[in-house]
């Protein structure tokens, strides 16, 4: 039975939820509504005049080669980040789960990167790979790899993917480790007696039991890569070179605040909102229900 608190005073409950509603209104609903309105307007760069243009902004972005390119870049970026962050985290979690000595120190160290702000992480990787002063770039050069992510789009993409994934590994690691530790040891022992080697035990027993965790993390990671990686991009590549790392969130910022195309930028935000909503629906409707064993 659900326990309900009944207030006698009719005003008090509204007062109690008011701060939360206010925060949501001011920081979420209002800007979102504003973006929605803005996406139907065209404004001059100085903000002195605006005109209602129906879906012109949307038509424009979806026919713009640059925008579609950015969409492709975002997809490549997001799936690469999710794939790397998930697979590395899973590998580390499996090792942490088997480690007997030093496990606590190992776990603590792996969790640290999550405490680093995305921009700081970006700067860190920027300096490591900086073509002139970066340590990693220096050693790469010694091994005959000419590293210059400011010129080479592929290298730039690799770098932002690594930087963005690095932080997310910690988060995924925690979930995977918790998931692995929740699997009763007797399942694995029973499989061992049934004749399965360590590799087979993992893929046929542990991994299927981890699948709810894995699906949850896939969605969370894609959302992260789509929306939370602005800082990484801004600190390392600023979307360059030649738009090679110009992901959608970065393009929204760039078009709106640098190029002052407010209507187009707002239309892009609305598209991103739709993507978030779609991912959330997928998360709740399909994954949370269907992944049952």
List contacts with another protein (CB under 8 A).
184, 186-187, 189-197, 200, 204-205, 208-209, 293
Cβ proximity to another protein: between 31 and 184 the closer is 184
Among candidate residues 220, 205, 103, the one with its CA nearest the CA of residue 169: 220
Task: Note whether 71 and 248 are within 8 A (CB).
Answer: yes
Tokens of 34: 């504003």
Cβ proximity to another protein: between 215 and 227 the closer is 215
Tell me the CB-side half-sphere exposure of residue 283, using CA atoms within 13 A. Answer: 16
Q: Identify the three-state secondary structure at position 160.
A: helix
Ramachandran assignment for 103, one of left (phi > 0), alpha (psi -120 to 50 degrees), beta (any other): alpha
Rounded to 5 degrees, φ, ψ at 180 are -65, -40
CB of 184 to another protein, least distance (A): 7
Task: Note whether 51 and 42 are within 8 A (CB).
Answer: yes
Tokens of 13: 């409950």
Cβ proximity to another protein: between 140 and 183 the closer is 183
Tokens of 96: 């942490």
Cβ proximity to another protein: between 47 and 185 the closer is 185
d(C-alpha 44, C-alpha 124), whole Å: 38
Among candidate residues 75, 275, 92, 104, the one with its CA nearest the CA of residue 166: 92
**What is the largest distance, in Å, between two alpha-carbon atoms of the chain?**
77
Cβ proximity to another protein: between 90 and 252 the closer is 90
CB of 222 to another protein, least distance (A): 24
CB of 111 to another protein, least distance (A): 28
CB of 149 to another protein, least distance (A): 43
Task: Note whether 115 and 225 are within 8 A (CB).
Answer: no
d(C-alpha 210, C-alpha 204), whole Å: 11
CB of 291 to another protein, least distance (A): 10
Cβ proximity to another protein: between 32 and 190 the closer is 190
**H helix or E strand, kind and range, residue 42:** strand 41-43
CB of 211 to another protein, least distance (A): 8
DSSP annotation of 3 reads: -
Cβ proximity to another protein: between 62 and 187 the closer is 187
CB of 207 to another protein, least distance (A): 10
Cβ proximity to another protein: between 54 and 199 the closer is 199
Those residues whose C-beta lies under 8 Å from the C-beta of residue 152, and which sit 6 or more positions away, are 241
């Amino acid at each position: 039975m659900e326990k309900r608190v009944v207030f006698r005073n009719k005003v008090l409950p509204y007062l109690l939820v008011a701060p939360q509603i206010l925060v949501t209104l001011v920081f979420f609903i209002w800007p979102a509504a504003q973006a929605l309105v803005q996406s139907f307007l065209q404004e001059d760069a100085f903000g002195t005049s605006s005109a209602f243009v129906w879906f012109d902004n949307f038509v424009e972005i979806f026919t713009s080669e640059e925008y579609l390119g950015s969409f492709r870049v975002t997809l490549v970026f997001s799936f690469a980040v999710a794939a790397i962050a998930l697979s590395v985290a899973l590998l580390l979690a499996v090792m942490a789960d088997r480690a007997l000595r030093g496990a606590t120190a190992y776990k603590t160290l792996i969790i640290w990167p999550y405490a680093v702000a995305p921009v700081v992480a970006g700067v860190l990787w920027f300096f490591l790979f900086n073509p002139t002063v970066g340590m990693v770039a220096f050693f790469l050069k010694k091994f005959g790899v000419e590293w210059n992510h400011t010129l080479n789009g592929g290298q730039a993409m690799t770098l932002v993917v690594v930087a963005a994934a690095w932080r997310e590994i910690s988060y995924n690691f925690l979930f995977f480790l918790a998931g692995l530790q929740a699997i009763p040891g007797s399942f694995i022992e029973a499989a061992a007696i049934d004749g399965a080697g360590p590799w087979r035990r993992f893929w046929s027993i542990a991994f299927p039991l981890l699948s709810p965790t894995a699906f949850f993390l896939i969605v969370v990671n894609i959302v992260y890569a789509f929306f939370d990686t602005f800082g990484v991009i801004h600190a390392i590549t600023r979307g360059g070179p030649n738009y090679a790392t110009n992901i959608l969130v970065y393009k929204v910022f760039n078009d709106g605040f640098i190029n002052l195309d407010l209507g187009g930028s707002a239309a892009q935000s609305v598209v991103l909102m739709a993507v978030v909503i779609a991912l959330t629906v997928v998360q709740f409707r399909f994954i949370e229900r269907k992944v049952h064993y």
